[in-house]
Amino acid sequence: MFKIPHIAPDRLPGVLRLMPKAELHLHIEGTLEPELIFKLAQRNQVQLPYASVEALRAAYDFKDLQSFLDIYYAGASVLLHEQDFFDMAWAYLEKAAADNVVHAEIFFDPQTHTARGVPMETVIKGLHHACQRAHQEFGLSAKLILCFLRHLSEEDAFATLEAALPFRHYFIGVGLDSSELGHPPAKFERVFAKCRELGLHVVAHAGEEGPPEYIRDALDLLKAERIDHGVQAVRDADLMKRLADERVPLTVCPLSNIKLCVFPTLAQHNLKSLLDAGLCVTVNSDDPAYFGGYVNDNYVQLFAALGLEGRHAYQLAFNSFEASFADAAQKKAWEHGLKAFFERLREQD
The least CB distance from residue 256 to Zn ion, in Å, is: 7
The least CB distance from residue 177 to Zn ion, in Å, is: 5
Give the x/- contact pattern for Zn ion in 208-247, rule: CB under 5 A.
----------------------------------------
The least CB distance from residue 192 to Zn ion, in Å, is: 17
The total of other beta-carbon atoms located within 10 Å of residue 239's CB is 20
CA distance 249 to 215: 12
Asked if residue 105 binds Zn ion (CB under 5 A), the reply is no
312 is in an annotated binding site: no
Q: Which amino acid is at 195?
A: C
Give the x/- contact pattern for Zn ion in 278-317, rule: CB under 5 A.
--------x-------------------------------
287 is in an annotated binding site: yes
CA distance 90 to 144: 13
User: Looking at 208, 213, 225, 335, which residue is catalytic?
Assistant: 208
269 is in an annotated binding site: no
- The yes-or-no answer on residue 208 being catalytic is yes
Of 84 and 286, the one with the shorter C-beta distance to Zn ion is 286
Residue pair 91/33 in contact (Cβ under 8 Å)? The answer is yes
Of 12 and 295, the one with the shorter C-beta distance to Zn ion is 295
Q: At what angle do helices 120-138 and 154-164 cross, to 10 degrees?
A: 60
10 is in an annotated binding site: no
27 is in an annotated binding site: yes
The least CB distance from residue 186 to Zn ion, in Å, is: 20
Of 72 and 90, the one with the shorter C-beta distance to Zn ion is 72
The number of residues that bind Zn ion (CB under 5 A) is 1
Detail the residues annotated as belonging to a binding site for Zn(2+): 25, 27, 205, 286
Detail the residues annotated as belonging to a binding site: 25, 27, 205, 286-287
Residues that bind Zn ion (CB under 5 A): 286
Residues catalogued as catalytic: 208
